[in-house]
A = this chain, B = another copy of it.
Amino acid sequence: MLSTESDPTHLRLARSLLPAGDPAAVVADVRGWLADFGRRAYTRVERIRLDRLEGWSEDPRTGDIRHDTGRFFAVEGLRVHNPGGPVTGWDQPIIHQSEIGILGILAKEFDGTMKFLMQAKVEPGNRNGLQLSPTVQATRSNYTRVHQGRAVPYLEYFRNPGSHRVLADVRQSEQGAWFYRKRNRNMVVEPAGDVEVLDGFRWLTLGEIHALLGADDLVNMDARTVLSCLPFAGPGLGAVLGRPRDAEFRAALVRSCSPEAGSLHSTREVLSWLTDARCRSDAEVRRIPLREVKGWVRTEDRIAHEAGLFFSVIGVRVSAGGREVAQWTQPMIEPNGTGIIALLVKNIDGVLHALMHARMEPGFTDTAELAPTVQCIPENHVLVPPSGRPRFLDEVVSAEPGRVRFDTVLSEEGGRFHHALNRYLVVEAEPKIPADDPDFRWVALHQLVSLLGHSHYLSVQARSLVACLHSLLTGGGEGGRATIGPTAGAAGARG
C-alpha cells in the first residue's frame, strides 16, 4: 500500500494543545521542578579575561580564537561588502562552527495525548540558569566525546531513528549576524517502544509547553526552533480546538493553519519573491583573519565595537554539576542590549497573515531568509538618522495593549551567547505595504509551516515566533505577559 501525503499528525498535535489547564499553575509547577533540579545541577559562570581562556588559543597568524582540539567552534573575522545595502560594508567578529549538531525532541502518545520529553538544562549564557530544552541538544563534538564527558542520553533515537517515526527532520540556520553558516538538524522522533525518563527530563503536552512559552526565559531557543518544525498545518483543526474564546483573532489564526483557507499570495509567488531577493543581492561575504577586522577593539578583556554597539566577544569560566563536563572556559558573544523581535499580523479575509521580511544576514548559508517584521536592538540605532530606523518598529512600540497578542522575553542559545535576550512580540496591525514591496510579504501560517519542512527559509527568530503563534491557538487570550512571569515589568522597561 502506498502512503499519501495526508497525515493526521496535525490533529494529534492539536489534541496535545488542549489539556493545559491554568497557565499560571503550569508555570509555577515547572518552575518548582526546575528549582528542585537546579539544587542538584548547579552552574556557576564567571567572567574571565579573554587571554585567560584555557584550552583555547589565539592563532599566531590570524588572531582567530580556536579550541586546541580544532573542534567546537572558532571566533574569526568576516568582511561584508554590500554595495546596494543601507550600510555598504563592515567588518565583524563571527563564530564559525561548521559541524551540524542535533536538536531533537522525543514525542509519545499517552492515553491519546501526545507529550514531548523536555529537559531541564543549564547553559552558561542563561540569565537564570535552567531552562526547558529539547531532549537532546548536542554538537557533533559533544556526541563524539571530544571533551570526554558522559554519553548524551537519548541520542541514539536521533542518530538511528530506524523503526521510530520521524515527525520532523530538517536542518535550519541559526543567528546569521553572529554565526557563519551555522546549522543544526531539528528533529522530532516518536519512538516505537517505552522510554525511560531520566532525572532532569519530563513529559509535557504542547499546551503545557505553550503556557511556559508565555513566561519569560523558560523555554530555550533550541526547544523553540524544534517545536516550530512540527507539521502543524492541515484541515480540521477548528473541529479539534473548538470555538475559540476570542472569536475573531483566534478563528483567523486557526484558519491560517489550514491550506484550504488560502492565502493572499500563493506559495509559488512567495518563493519567487524570496528567489528574487536572494538573486538581487550584490553582497559579498568573506572570512578574514580576526586580527584584520576593522572598527573593533581588542583588549585583554573583550573584543568590542569601537562605538560600543552590536556585541562583544567575552570569556567565561563555567563550573557545572549535572552536565557532561564539570568545568571549562569558553569565549561567548554578549549583545549590546535587549532586542525587539516582532511579527505584525493581520486578518486578511478571515485568515491571519504575518508580515515576513526577506532579511539578509552575513552568516546565512543562502543570502536571505524569511525573518520577523522587526528585528533589532534599538540601542544599535541611536547613531543612525531617522531614515535608517527599522521599518515598522514604530507600529510595534506604539501598539495599543489590546493588539499585542504575545509579549515575552526569551533568550537565545545559552551555549554561545551571554545574556542574549529578546522581547518577542506578536502584534495585530494594519500597515499598508505595496503589493510588490521588495522586502516584505504577508504570508499565512500554513505557508510558513510548509516552508519549515525545508531548510533555510525561516530564520531562527522567525521560527521562535512561529512557535509563539502556535501557542496562541489556545489559552487565555489576554496577551500572555500581563498575567504570567515575574520578570515581565523589567523586560518591558528594557525594551
- Residues on the B chain within 8 Å of A4, using CB: 259-263
* Cβ of A446 to closest chain B Cβ, rounded Å: 9
* Cβ of A336 to closest chain B Cβ, rounded Å: 33
* Cβ of A429 to closest chain B Cβ, rounded Å: 19
A169 CB-CB contact with B under 8 Å: yes
A454 CB-CB contact with B under 8 Å: yes
- Residues on the B chain within 8 Å of A2, using CB: 261-264, 348-349, 351
- Residues on the B chain within 8 Å of A269, using CB: 166
Q: Mark A164-191, 1 if CB is under 8 A from B, else 0.
A: 0010011100000000000001000000
A198 CB-CB contact with B under 8 Å: no
A1 CB-CB contact with B under 8 Å: yes
Tell me the chain A residues, 327-378 only, with Cβ under 8 Å from chain B: 348-349, 351, 365-366
One of A22-30, A270-278, A398-406 at the interface: A270-278
A3 CB-CB contact with B under 8 Å: yes
Residue of B nearest to A161 (CB): B272
Q: How far is the CA of A262 from the CA of B1 in the complex (A)?
A: 9
- Residues on the B chain within 8 Å of A263, using CB: 2-4
A196 CB-CB contact with B under 8 Å: no
Please determine whether B3 and A185 come into contact, CB atoms closer than 8 angstroms: no
Please, how many residues of chain A have a CB less than 8 angstroms from a CB on the other chain?
A: 41
Q: How far is the CA of A7 from the CA of B266 in the complex (A)?
A: 10
Please determine whether A454 and B266 come into contact, CB atoms closer than 8 angstroms: no
Please determine whether A5 and B349 come into contact, CB atoms closer than 8 angstroms: no
Please determine whether A266 and B3 come into contact, CB atoms closer than 8 angstroms: yes
Select A279's contact among B185, B268, B272, B366, beta carbons within 8 Å.
Answer: B185
Residue of B nearest to A185 (CB): B279
Q: How far is the CA of A231 from the CA of B269 in the complex (A)?
A: 13
A437 CB-CB contact with B under 8 Å: no
Number of chain copies forming the complex: 2
Please determine whether A170 and B275 come into contact, CB atoms closer than 8 angstroms: yes
- Residues on the B chain within 8 Å of A351, using CB: 2
- Residues on the B chain within 8 Å of A264, using CB: 2-3
Residue of B nearest to A4 (CB): B262
Q: How far is the CA of A169 from the CA of B261 in the complex (A)?
A: 24
Given contacts A185-B279, A263-B3, A279-B100, contact A272 B436 (CB under 8 A): no
* Cβ of A359 to closest chain B Cβ, rounded Å: 18
* Cβ of A476 to closest chain B Cβ, rounded Å: 29
Tell me the chain A residues, 370-415 only, with Cβ under 8 Å from chain B: none
Select A1's contact among B3, B279, B349, beta carbons within 8 Å.
Answer: B349
A19 CB-CB contact with B under 8 Å: no
Q: How far is the CA of A263 from the CA of B3 in the complex (A)?
A: 5
- Residues on the B chain within 8 Å of A170, using CB: 271, 275
Q: How far is the CA of A260 from the CA of B262 in the complex (A)?
A: 20
- Residues on the B chain within 8 Å of A265, using CB: 3
A244 CB-CB contact with B under 8 Å: no
A453 CB-CB contact with B under 8 Å: yes
Select A272's contact among B169, B260, B349, B455, beta carbons within 8 Å.
Answer: B169
* Cβ of A159 to closest chain B Cβ, rounded Å: 9
Please determine whether A275 and B5 come into contact, CB atoms closer than 8 angstroms: no
Q: How far is the CA of A261 from the CA of B276 in the complex (A)?
A: 33
Select A169's contact among B5, B275, B348, beta carbons within 8 Å.
Answer: B275
| Interface residues in chain A, defined as those with a beta carbon under 8 Å from any beta carbon in chain B | 1-5, 7, 100, 161-162, 166, 169-171, 185, 231, 259-269, 271-272, 275-276, 278-279, 348-349, 351, 365-366, 436, 453-455
Instruction: Known A-B contacts: A1-B349, A185-B275. Give 6 more (CB < 8 A).
Output: A2-B349, A4-B263, A166-B268, A169-B268, A267-B453, A366-B455
